[in-house]
Chain A
Amino acid sequence: MAVDVVLAETVRETGQPVLRLYRWWPPCISLGRNQPAKGQYDDAEAKRRGIDFVRRPTGGRAVYHHHEVTYAVAVGDRQLGGPRRTYEAIHRALLAGLRLLGASTEIVDPRVALRPSTVPCFQEIDGGAIVAGRRKLVGSAQLRERGVLLQHGSILLTGDQSPTTELLKVAWKSDERDRPAALDELLDFLPTWGELVNGLLSGFERLLDVEFVQSRLDDAEKGRMMRHSRHFSDPGWTWRL
């Protein structure tokens, strides 16, 4: 989370859009900025399973980060035509990348909106999501702050997101039809990290007509990352609602 926010700050200074692709360790459930969560998860069971919690700066609902690729894009809020058009443009680029990898996927009609709730992100299909059939493969969320849009999201590789419901204290009736999609079911193989990165980058390059330059955080960015890390690891923020 902290790195994504640092990237958004850097875009505010430089105007240079950034794409980041990453994985999580240990596994973690990220909560939407405004979703209710306080007292709703079984903390002891989460600890026993080695699962952390963090609250995102972006909207949306809970995502289990394990066996997935997380992407983050930071871009000027008008560079791709405003929040909604940016959301659609990034999903079209991801869709192109997934199709290059061989995954048969599509984008849901963008006019369906969901309220923040404890219902996990991948359990319900919202407008603009990337799906395979009626099952969600990619879920994303956005923050618009001082001229910059940060959009990040999760592309499921394998597994079923079950900790997002199993760790809820409230009784949860699982329905097989709500099960998310995963890339390993859509392809004959599970791509390597390198293949995933190359496929997704190609999707962005083709759809948005951009060329990527690889970079790392500089010392100043690392300093800001440490500061933001303190915020995101503060239980007062994670369990604020």
Chain B
Amino acid sequence: MKDDSTSIANYFVKHKAKNLCVNAKGELLTYLDVYQKAIKPPFTATNRQLVFCIVENEISALSGYFALLVANAVPMMVAVTISTEKLHHLASSYRPHFIWLPEARRKEFERADCMLSQDGYCLLNLHNPERRCHDSLALLLATSGSTGNPKYVRLSHRNLYSNAESIAKFLELTSNEVPITTLPPSYSYGLSIIHSHIFVGATLAITNKTFFDRDFWNFFHDIQATSMGGVPYHYEMLKKLRFTSMNLPSLRTLTQAGGGMDTKLTMEYASYCESSGRRFFSMYGQTEATARMSYLPSSEATFKAGSIGIAIPGGKFWLEDKSGQIFDCADSPGELVYQGPNVSMGYADSYEDLEKSDERHGVLRTGDIARRDGDGYYFIVGRRKRFIKLYGNRVSLSDIDGLLFESGYVAACAGQDNYLEVYALNIDAEKAKLVKKLVVGSLHIAQSAVSVYGVTEFPRSDSGKIQYSELQSQLGILLT
């Protein structure tokens, strides 16, 4: 274990007498169980080594992830939806020493040795040479969904600790909380819920069922869950289920992050919480800042609906104009810049980057354009870079352009949160369907979130550069 009081790993010892996880079958995992697992082989061998971690919201899976944290390994979270091909590609870029994954996927690594197999998960030794990771490096998280981009965010022990501490503080978390899992642990928001509750010694209600499973709601009632988090599409699903008329007496807190949510929808949940004595938190963040950068206090949830709120405890926001000058006047848009101890060390594209030290020095240019109102609350008004959020995952539009190019299409993408527009050069309706299938399949999104347009040319600047901001539906013919 890392001898540093500012490490989340120490909290497994601090809360050793408490229950960490419980599931619908009534199985329990205590904080002490994790500690005991971590100080024994084979987990002791993972110290300072890169370990791929493919985990779902299951106790056996998470117990391995937690043990890696305590053993001071460097886990790299990989989405469970990753294909064998992409996983192998990722493994050749990063050369992990070990991999913690479902037993069912063990056959994807034929030449690996199994060090431990327990309750459906196993730890494999891939026999890659040992490599030195930077001493501060604690965890690697993916920047965007499943486009296959090997770009990962390098997070330090201090990043994890400070963000968990800050979230626990502004949400006023206590050990009595019982958050129910709704988001994958490979996703920064999902993981931040887990980490912030470990900080206070709470018990996590672990399920990988969705809102559309009866079992999810049965478990919610049985375990008396007190909170859950969701990205905008979760709140659309809950609306479909007429959530506000459900009888959920144990529920105290709802949190929302993962992209801007329609203000009307935000207002519905904010008023529901206000009138029923619950708390609703709109939050904003990026994986590049571990998870959270701002929150809207629940007391302001209805007055300031649509706002991302104020910087989290320990953090600071400011706005910069086009020339990079900080300005201080209300209601003028500028690039949102964040400073805080949760700002990541930087990116990694391969194992060679794991030795790198902190490249950001606590400052993150978010790429989002925001304004601040007269009361000091921030509102996102646009985006500087070519990114959109699809179902909570930040997706690079140029990654999608690249993905299509590899399959033989010349396309440029545009759109807004939860809605992607693909402009493809010289295609017919048949090909458009294939384009849609490809995009829907690789991004795991709903068909209704994608439109494909056929164009004969792209809008270009005098210098020949594609003018992405001018891509709009009138330019082409809607094909599917």
Chain A complexes with chain B: no
